[in-house]
Structure formats: structure tokens, C-alpha cells
């Protein structure tokens, strides 16, 4: 009962946030003294008053701002997010094309961050105040202090340019055709096609940007895991477990870790949001054809239909991720009550 009401409230909040975000970006876009008619129609069409009138009518451009906004919402609900000024294509089509690349990169990245972060955090807590703990703590602070754009360039310089161990920018090597699996997730597509050379190539392309993108989140997770584990280890039930003669490894793995990782869930959610922001820089540096690069290019081009579309998409993902982490939190920790 409590959960259902909680869910409904959160989903209502999701809708309101999306309305707020769209309103915010919409107002921003109209602070720019640019003429959307001139930007959207070709030179030849600009001489055609009928076309101009039709375009103005479709987006309500001759109406006051709030009417324009409602027109945008109406068109949006009909699945029409407008035409990108830069690519001259439907924003929805653009987003559908670039979305999988970003999600594949983000998921791969968050997996690296979670695995390394939790591992480092456990080791750090077990060997508290030892030399290795100091090193790992320094690594975790380093992770949150690295300027991502610079770290990305440095990694490319070392592993691609100097050592040649890993491929350069892009999602796949020059020798491969774009996978035709249909999902847009190249790893899955390659698996479907049973093309293991392609799979390996995609994986190698993913590695560098994913590591760079995940460094920040990895630092956060290391920190939280260490703090959580240290807190749990001082509890009475851990003393009981030790007193009954359990091996230290069993105490940590079976008794302590489960509870220590609960706060980590929240951090993973936060980290994922950070990751989405990071894609703007990482995708630009690594020539990754994803939503982040699309957002950057649209922003510098003042391509506002595209910017509103990207903003809505990212805000939606961000809120859904936070909702999922909050729900997981409740499932894992029965003390949490939804109110």
C-alpha cells in the first residue's frame, strides 16, 4: 500500500520534473535572439510565404510564448519533437540513433566503476590504515579529482598514440562494417551476428572511454564502500560472528558486506547521473556518436529543438535511475519506509 502510493507520487513528480525541464530549456531557448524560421527553412523556402506561414502555424511562432510552449507540448505528445536545425532531421530520429551508443558506453562504464570501486573499498577497509589502504584512498580521491577531458586525452595519447595497444576514437575499427543486429548496442549486435572479431574490436573501442568516464564514479563507490564496511564492522552482530569462530573472510563476505553495500546503491545512482553528464566531454574526445556529443554539437549550434529533446531524454533517464535506486534501497533495507 505504502509502496504503491509512493510509486505514484514519484511518477507524478517525474512528469512535473519533465514539464519543468522542458519549460526551463524552452524559456532559455527564447532568450537567444535567433530567428527559428530562418534557421529551419532553406533559402529557397524562405521566399515562399505559404511555407513560412505553415511553419509558423505548426510551431505557433506568431503566438505568445506560453502558446508556443503548449504547441510544443501538443506536438511532443503526438511524437513530434521538431526538426533539428543542424541535422535537418527529426529530433526523435536523431535521438533514437544516438541513444544506444551512449547507453552501451554508460553501462559498460558503470560496471567497471562498480566492480573496481567495491573491490577497492573492501580491500581498503580490511587493510585499514595500512599502506595499501592509503594508496587506494589516494586513488579514490584521484578518481574524483581528474579532469575527465584531460584524463581522456592522456589515455588516448599513451595507449593509442604511443603504445598502440588500444584503438583510437570511434565505436568500431575502419575494417568493420556497422553491425546489423538492429539493437544499436554493438556488443549485442556482434554477439547476435556471432562475429567474434567484431565483438573484440567493439570491446577494445569501449575500454578507454569507459574507464575515463567511470573514474569519478569509481572513486565515489570506493569511498562509500570503505566507509560503509568500517561502520558495519564495528557492530555487535559482527562481534558475535567472530566470537562464534567464523573465519574473517566469512564474517566479511557473508555478514558485513550485505549491509555495508546498501548505501553504495544510492551512490551508484548518483554516479550514473554524473556519468551521463560526463558523456558530453568523453564522447566529444573519443568521437563517440552518442547523445552527449549530440548535446554538445546542438548546444554550440544553438539548435534548440535538439537541445530540448536531449534535455528531456537525459532528465527522464536520470530521474528513472534515481527512482530505481530508491526502490532498491527499500527492498534491501527493510527499515526504510516509503512516505
Distance CA 142, CA 321 (A): 26
173-207 b/e (C-beta count within 10 Å ≥ 16 → b): eeebeebebeebbbbbbbbeeebeebbebbeebbb
- Could you say whether residue 320 binds other proteins (CB under 8 A)? no
- Could you say whether residue 37 binds other proteins (CB under 8 A)? no
Of 86, 266, 322, 329, the residue at the interface with other proteins (CB under 8 A) is 322
The residues in 147-176 that bind other proteins, with binding defined as CB under 8 A, are: 147-151, 153-154, 156-157, 161
Of 39, 207, 230, 327, the residue at the interface with other proteins (CB under 8 A) is 230
- Could you say whether residue 323 binds other proteins (CB under 8 A)? no
- Could you say whether residue 32 binds other proteins (CB under 8 A)? yes
145: cell is: 579529482
Of 36, 209, 269, 278, the residue at the interface with other proteins (CB under 8 A) is 278
238: cell is: 559482527
The count of chain residues that interact with other proteins, using the rule CB under 8 A, is: 55
Of 173, 277, 289, 330, the residue at the interface with other proteins (CB under 8 A) is 277
- Could you say whether residue 142 binds other proteins (CB under 8 A)? yes
Pick from 24, 69, 100: nearest CA to 294 = 100
Distance CA 108, CA 21 (A): 28
Q: Which CB atom, from 11 or from 154, has the smaller least distance to other proteins?
A: 154
Query: Which residue in this structure is represented by grid cell 553491425?
Result: 179
- Could you say whether residue 293 binds other proteins (CB under 8 A)? no
CB of 87 to other proteins, least distance (A): 17
- Could you say whether residue 40 binds other proteins (CB under 8 A)? no
- Could you say whether residue 24 binds other proteins (CB under 8 A)? yes
Q: Which CB atom, from 24 or from 93, has the smaller least distance to other proteins?
A: 24
Task: Give the number of other Cβ atoms within 10 Å of residue 162's Cβ.
Answer: 9
Q: Where are the alpha helices (DSSP H) in 30-180?
A: 36-40, 43-46, 49-59, 65-77, 91-126, 131-145, 148-155
- Could you say whether residue 296 binds other proteins (CB under 8 A)? yes
Q: Where are the alpha helices (DSSP H) in the chain?
A: 2-29, 36-40, 43-46, 49-59, 65-77, 91-126, 131-145, 148-155, 186-192, 196-233, 236-243, 248-250, 257-260, 262-285, 291-300, 304-332
Of 28, 38, 53, 336, the residue at the interface with other proteins (CB under 8 A) is 28
The residues in 46-105 that bind other proteins, with binding defined as CB under 8 A, are: none
- Tally the residues of the chain: 339
- Could you say whether residue 295 binds other proteins (CB under 8 A)? yes
Distance CA 72, CA 66 (A): 10
The residues in 174-193 that bind other proteins, with binding defined as CB under 8 A, are: none
Task: Give the number of other Cβ atoms within 10 Å of residue 21's Cβ.
Answer: 18
- Could you say whether residue 29 binds other proteins (CB under 8 A)? yes
Residues that bind other proteins (CB under 8 A): 16-17, 20-21, 24-25, 28-29, 31-32, 128-129, 137, 141-142, 144-151, 153-154, 156-157, 161, 223, 227, 230-231, 234, 273-274, 276-278, 280-281, 284-285, 295-296, 299-300, 302, 307, 310-311, 314-315, 318-319, 322
Amino acid at each position: 500500500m505504502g509502496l504503491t502510493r509512493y510509486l505514484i507520487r514519484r511518477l507524478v513528480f517525474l512528469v512535473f520534473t519533465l514539464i519543468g525541464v522542458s519549460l526551463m530549456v524552452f524559456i532559455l531557448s527564447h532568450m537567444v535572439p535567433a530567428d527559428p524560421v530562418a534557421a529551419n527553412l532553406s533559402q529557397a523556402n524562405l521566399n515562399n510565404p505559404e511555407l513560412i506561414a505553415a511553419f509558423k502555424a505548426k510551431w505557433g511562432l506568431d503566438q505568445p510564448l506560453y502558446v508556443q510552449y503548449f504547441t510544443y507540448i501538443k506536438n511532443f505528445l503526438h511524437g513530434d519533437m521538431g526538426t533539428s536545425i543542424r541535422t535537418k532531421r527529426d529530433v526523435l530520429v536523431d535521438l533514437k540513433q544516438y541513444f544506444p551508443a551512449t547507453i552501451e558506453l554508460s553501462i559498460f562504464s558503470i560496471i567497471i566503476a562498480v566492480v573496481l570501486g567495491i573491490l577497492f573499498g573492501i580491500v581498503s577497509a580490511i587493510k585499514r590504515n595500512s599502506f595499501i589502504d592509503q594508496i587506494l584512498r589516494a586513488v579514490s580521491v584521484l578518481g574524483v579529482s581528474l579532469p575527465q577531458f584531460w584524463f581522456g586525452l592522456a589515455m588516448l595519447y599513451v595507449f593509442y598514440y604511443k603504445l598502440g595497444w588500444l584503438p583510437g576514437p570511434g565505436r568500431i575499427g575502419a575494417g568493420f562494417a556497422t553491425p546489423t543486429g538492429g539493437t544499436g548496442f554493438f556488443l549485442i549486435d556482434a554477439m547476435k551476428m556471432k562475429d567474434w572479431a567484431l565483438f573484440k574490436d567493439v570491446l577494445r573501442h569501449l575500454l578507454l572511454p569507459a574507464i575515463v568516464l567511470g573514474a569519478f564514479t569509481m572513486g565515489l563507490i570506493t569511498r562509500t564502500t570503505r566507509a560503509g564496511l568500517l561502520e558495519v564492522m564495528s557492530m555487535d552482530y559482527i562481534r558475535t560472528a567472530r566470537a562464534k569462530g567464523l573465519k574473517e573472510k566469512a564474517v566479511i563476505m557473508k555478514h558485513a558486506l550485505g549491509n555495508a553495500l546498501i548505501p553504495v546503491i544510492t551512490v551508484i545512482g548518483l554516479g550514473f547521473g554524473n556519468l551521463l553528464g560526463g558523456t558530453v566531454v568523453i564522447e566529444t574526445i573519443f568521437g563517440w556518436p552518442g547523445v552527449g556529443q549530440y548535446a554538445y554539437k546542438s548546444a554550440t549550434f544553438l539548435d534548440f529543438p535538439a537541445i530540448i529533446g536531449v534535455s528531456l531524454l537525459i532528465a527522464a533517464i536520470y530521474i528513472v535511475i534515481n527512482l530505481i535506486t530508491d526502490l532498491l534501497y527499500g527492498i534491501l533495507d527493510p527499515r526504510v519506509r516509503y512516505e
